[in-house]
């Protein structure tokens, strides 16, 4: 589904990501690990259109998406979350999820204002779709609550619902377990496995080892922008280069 071909990301003199390649298939969970500053978020940015790779190519369903704008990439079915929480705290959970539909319904929302029957129907359908996603993750009872009143774990689920309602086929999560309790991490892990079982591909940047080990099919480790390992979780855990990178002796 996603093919990353030798991408390099540079910031004035600094190479944040160097010649990185990997693939993610339907229903697969790939974790990207690496020390702070290893280039994980920069790789996400290059894939999702928030940064332009200096070299290399990104393909989605065999089609090049390199250099497309973030909106265009999202519209193709690649949705991401941000490292510091993309929840709008003052808005309700339902409104937060509906934001995922903004791209497809922005024009019809204008129609709602003028009371066009087709637009009212479109809005009802949007709300129904948002509720269905919330229900599929077991959080529809929270729909009317201000999103800022939820626990971090619940907020992560809302972000995932927002991605799902837009029809995401690939979801990219940047450190989703930050601030989560051990219980919430387990729950998040189960949600991710369920999504994968539905055929959704997931790329997960994560430091929390228990979550990575529990959910990933494969783990890719970056260090100073370069891939130093890519293998099954248990194999990566034993990898000497990886241990060195984390112990700072590399
Ligand atoms: N906009 C930017 N301008 C200049 N340098 C940047 C920019 N964004 C990231 N960098 C640098 O690129 C390198 C990789 O950063 P990046 O944020 O991708 O790392 P990361 O692996 O996501 O780290 P963390 O675990 O702390 O989130 C770092 O040296 C960082 O300082
Ligand atoms: Mg980061």
Q: Can you give the CATH number for the domain in which 185 is found?
A: 3.40.50.300
Cβ proximity of 234 and 227 under 8 Å: no
CA atoms of 76 and 70, how far apart (whole Å)? 10
- Is pLDDT of 113 > 50? yes
Q: Distance from the CA of 193 to the center of ligand 1, in angstroms?
A: 29
Binned at pLDDT 50, 70 and 90, residue 244 comes out as confident
CA atoms of 148 and 221, how far apart (whole Å)? 33
Q: How many CA atoms lie within 13 A of 150 on its CB side?
A: 29
With tokens 């998040």, the residue in question is 188
Q: What is the per-residue pLDDT for 250?
A: 45
Candidate from 41, 84, 220, 226 with most ligand 1 atoms within 8 A of CB, to mutate:
41
Q: What is the per-residue pLDDT for 104?
A: 52
CA atoms of 146 and 179, how far apart (whole Å)? 19
Tell me what the mean pLDDT of segment 34-46 comes to: 95
Kindly report the backbone phi and psi dihedral angles of residue 239, in degrees, each rounded to the nearest multiple of 5, phi listed first.
-70, 130
Q: Distance from the CA of 66 to the center of ligand 1, in angstroms?
A: 20
Q: What is the per-residue pLDDT for 75?
A: 92
- Is pLDDT of 124 > 70? yes
Nearest CA to ligand 1 atom 6: 11
- Is pLDDT of 109 > 60? no
What percent of the chain is modeled with pLDDT above 90? 76
Q: What is the per-residue pLDDT for 115?
A: 63
Better-predicted residue by pLDDT, 25 or 83 = 25
Alpha-carbon separation of residue 160 from 29, 112, 130, 231 (angstroms): 15, 26, 11, 26
208 in contact with ligand 1, CB cutoff 6 A: no
Q: Is 99 exposed, middle or buried (0-12, 13-18, 19+ CB in 10 A)?
A: middle
Q: How many CA atoms lie within 13 A of 168 on its CB side?
A: 29
Q: Whole-prediction pTM value?
A: 0.90
- Residue-number span of the structural domain to which 124 is assigned: 2-247
Tell me what the mean pLDDT of segment 154-161 comes to: 94
47 in contact with ligand 1, CB cutoff 6 A: no
Ligand 1: nearest atom to the Cα of 39: 18
The total number of residues shown for the chain amounts to 250
- Is pLDDT of 76 > 60? yes
11 in contact with ligand 1, CB cutoff 6 A: yes
Cβ proximity of 204 and 215 under 8 Å: yes
- Is pLDDT of 216 > 90? yes
Q: Distance from the CA of 117 to the center of ligand 1, in angstroms?
A: 48
Q: How many domains are contained in the chain?
A: 1
pLDDT digits (tens, 9 = 90+) for 6-19: 999 999 989 999 99
Ligand 1: nearest atom to the Cα of 17: 14
CA atoms of 149 and 92, how far apart (whole Å)? 9
Output DSSP code: residue 146: B
């Amino acid at each position: 589904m996603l093919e990353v071909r030798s991408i390099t990301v540079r910031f004035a003199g600094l190479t944040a990501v160097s010649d990185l390649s990997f693939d993610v298939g339907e229903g697969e969970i790939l974790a990207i690990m690496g020390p702070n500053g290893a280039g994980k978020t920069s790789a996400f940015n290059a894939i999702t259109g928030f940064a332009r790779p200096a070299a290399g190519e990104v393909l989605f369903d065999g089609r090049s998406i390199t250099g497309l704008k973030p909106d265009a990439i999202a519209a193709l079915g690649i949705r991401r979350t941000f490292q510091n929480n993309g929840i709008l705290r003052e808005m309700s959970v339902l409104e937060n999820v509906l934001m995922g539909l903004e791209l497809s319904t922005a024009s019809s929302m204008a129609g709602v204002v003028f009371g066009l029957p087709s637009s009212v129907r479109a809005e009802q359908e949007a709300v129904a779709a948002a509720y269905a996603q919330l229900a599929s993750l077991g959080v529809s009872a929270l729909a009317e609550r201000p999103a800022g009143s939820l626990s971090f774990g619940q907020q992560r689920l809302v972000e995932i619902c927002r991605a799902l309602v837009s029809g995401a086929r690939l979801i990219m999560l940047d450190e989703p377990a930050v601030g989560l309790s051990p219980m919430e991490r387990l729950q998040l892990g189960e949600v991710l496995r369920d999504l994968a079982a539905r055929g959704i591909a997931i790329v997960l940047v994560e430091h929390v080892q228990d979550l990575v080990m529990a959910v990933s099919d494969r783990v890719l480790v970056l260090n100073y922008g370069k891939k130093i390992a890519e293998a099954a979780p248990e194999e990566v855990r034993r990898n000497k280069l990886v241990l060195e990178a984390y112990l700072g002796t590399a």
